[in-house]
Amino acid sequence: MIAFTLGELATAVTIMAASLGGLLAVCFKSKCDDISLCYGCCKIHRNVPSPVEELAIELAPTNQTA
């Protein structure tokens, strides 16, 4: 068995965590209704608001008092 130093192990864990975080960021920012990972092993169907609904929400006046 190959011995790894603590620095090498920390680097490997950091790279894997960053890769997973990047993948999740792309998935959450996407506008896709259906997402399929690992050749169909993990399928996700989600309700994503249309861009028109998002724009209406952003432009809606807020009840803030000065």
The one-letter amino acid at 42: C
- Tell me how far apart the alpha carbons of residues 54 and 56 are, in angstroms, rounded to a whole number: 5
Helical (H) or strand (E) element with 58: helix 51-59
Does the pTM surpass 0.85? The reply is: no
- In tens, the pLDDT along 12-30 reads 999 999 999 998 888 777 7
At residue 23, the 3 state secondary structure works out as helix
Tokens of 38: 């690992």
pLDDT value at position 60? 64
Phi, psi of 54 (to 5 degrees): -65, -40
Helix (H, G, I), strand (E, B) or coil at 34: strand
